[in-house]
Structure 1
Amino acid sequence: MHLYLTHPQVRIDPTVPVPLWGLSAQGLARTEALAARPWLRAFRRIVASEETKAWDTAAVLGAALGLMVEVRPGLHENDRSATGFLPRAEFEAVADLFFAHPDRSALGWETARNAQARILDAVRAVIDEAPDVPTLVVGHGAVGTLLKCALGGRPISRREDQPDGGGNHLGFTLEPAAVLHDWRPMEDAPPEP
Structure 2
Amino acid sequence: MARTVRYLTHPQVLIEPKKDVRQWSLNSIGRARVSALAARPEVLQQTGKVISSDEVKALETALPLAAALGLELEVDPQMRENDRTATGFLPPKEFERVADQFFANPLKDVRGWERAIDAQGRIVAAVEACLSVSQEGDILFVGHGGVGTLLYCALSNVGISRRFDQGPGGGFWFSFEAEELRPLQEWQPMETLRVGRQPSEYPAEGFVR
Which of 140, 156, 175 is matched with 2:144 structurally? Answer: 140
Aligned to 2:28: 25
| Equivalent residue number for residue 44 of structure 1 | 48
Deviation per CA, 1:34-57: give whole Å up to 9, x if none. 112221222121000010000110
Q: Distance in 2 between matches of 1:60 and 1:88?
A: 29
Return the match for 1:78 from 79, 82, 88. 82
CA contact (8 A) 2:46 2:137 kept: no
TM-score, with length taken from structure 1: 0.96
CA distance in 2, matches of 1:119, 1:51: 14
Quote the sequence identity (%): 50
Structure 1 residues without counterparts, runs of 5 or longer: none
Partner of 1:189: 193
| Corresponding position: 1:94 with 2:98 | yes
Matched residue of 1:179: which SS? coil
Within the candidate set 162, 165, 176, 1:161 is matched to 165
Q: Is the 8 A contact 1:19 1:52 kept in 2?
A: yes
SS across alignment from 1:156:
coil
1:174 to partner: Cα distance:
4.1
Q: Is the 8 A contact 2:176 2:184 kept in 1?
A: yes
Matched, 1:34 2:37: yes
Report what 1:58 is aligned to.
Answer: 62
Kept after mapping to 2: 8 A contact 1:73/1:122 = no
Which residue matches 2:154?
150
**Equivalent in the alignment of 2:203:** none
CA contact (8 A) 1:167 1:186 kept: yes
Which residue type is aligned with residue 198 of structure 2? E
Query: Is 1:15 the counterpart of 2:21 in the alignment?
Result: no
| Paired positions, count | 193
Structure 2: stretches of 5+ with no match in the other structure: 200-209
**Counterpart-to-counterpart distance in 2, 1:135 and 1:177:** 13
> Alpha carbons of 1:64 and 1:157: their partners in 2 closer, same or farther (altered >3 Å)?
same
